[in-house]
Amino acid sequence: MARTETIESAAKPSESVTVQSETPLESFASICSVLVVGIFIITFIFQNFEIPSSSMEKTILIGDHVLVDRISLSPRTPWAPFVHYGDVHRGDIIVFIKPHETNLTLVKRVIGVPGDRIHLEHGVVFLNGVAQNQPYAAMPAEDGNPEDAYYPYRDDFPAVPPSMSEDVTATWAVDMPQYIQGGDLVVPAGHYFAMGDNRLVSLDSRYWGFVPQQNILGRPLFIYWSFITPSSQEYKTSVSDRVSFMAHIVVHFFDQTRWRRTFRRVQ
């Protein structure tokens, strides 16, 4: 049984406040309730992701940890009318499951929505015939780093056949021609065309096709922690490599955390 204690009020000695201390079973039940709520929030409302590649630089860096809203872009449900649902718009950054590869989650920027006509000319995106001003996007260079140099398939998409690029998936190489009209790629209903901000290294819709609506998990809200991480770290998957990097984080937490990026909005 719960034990009853009486605590005398210092302000009014003639009055008392009665409280009950919890039994071990009640304490355990309270902890379980908190855990259940926490798991529900993490699973269905918010989720954290670590960025392992440079495909979204300079918007999102390798080593950024982002909190993702999993509700606002989800399908509307009648049992939750209080939830603020939204549509996917051009320019939104989304987190989604890569088409035809369910074990890989990606983050890219939406360039085209259903019905849009898209093509690139020397890296510049033309949307419904109008050149887009996208200062966040990396552009090919005439000289300098070889990976920054002009590449026909990547930078004049979809003018060059997909066979010219070894990174194009076989499925997309077969499907892409049916969506080309007058030199433009037309986005079909229920799908989106997404690209990384670092266009020069990003393997995106140019290489594997459209993002289905049902593959979208949510949108990143803000960076809650950012740690300087080498680009090679994503390929170090052994237990020893992971333990070694965890030790590195512990030692260099303060001097290699990018403090200025903490709580920065992702947009």
Please choose, from the candidates 118, 47, 163, the residue with its C-alpha nearest in 3D space to the C-alpha of residue 109.
118
Task: Flag whether 33 is in a domain.
Answer: no
Task: Flag whether 28 is in a domain.
Answer: no
CATH number, domain containing residue 92: 2.10.109.10
Radius of gyration of the chain (CA): 25
Task: Flag whether 257 is in a domain.
Answer: yes
Q: Round to whole Å and give the CA distance between 128 and 64.
A: 33
Task: Flag whether 74 is in a domain.
Answer: yes
Q: Round to whole Å and give the CA distance between 63 and 224.
A: 11
In this prediction the pTM is 0.81
For the stretch 20-57, pLDDT in tens is 566 766 566 666 665 555 554 455 567 889 999 999 99
Judged against a pLDDT cut of 70, whether residue 144 lies above it is answered with: no
Which range has the worst mean pLDDT, 1-5, 173-177, 192-196, 243-247? 1-5
Task: Flag whether 2 is in a domain.
Answer: no
Task: Flag whether 9 is in a domain.
Answer: no
Q: Number of folded domains in the chain?
A: 1
Which residue(s) pair with 20 in the sheet? 4
Domain limits for position 138 = 43-265
Q: Round to whole Å and give the CA distance between 19 and 191.
A: 58
Convert 67-83 to b/e letters by CB count within 10 Å (16 or more is b).
bbbbeebbeeeeeeeee
Is the distance from CB of 187 to CB of 116 less than 8 angstroms? yes
For the stretch 81-129, pLDDT in tens is 555 567 899 999 999 999 999 899 999 999 999 999 999 999 999 999 9
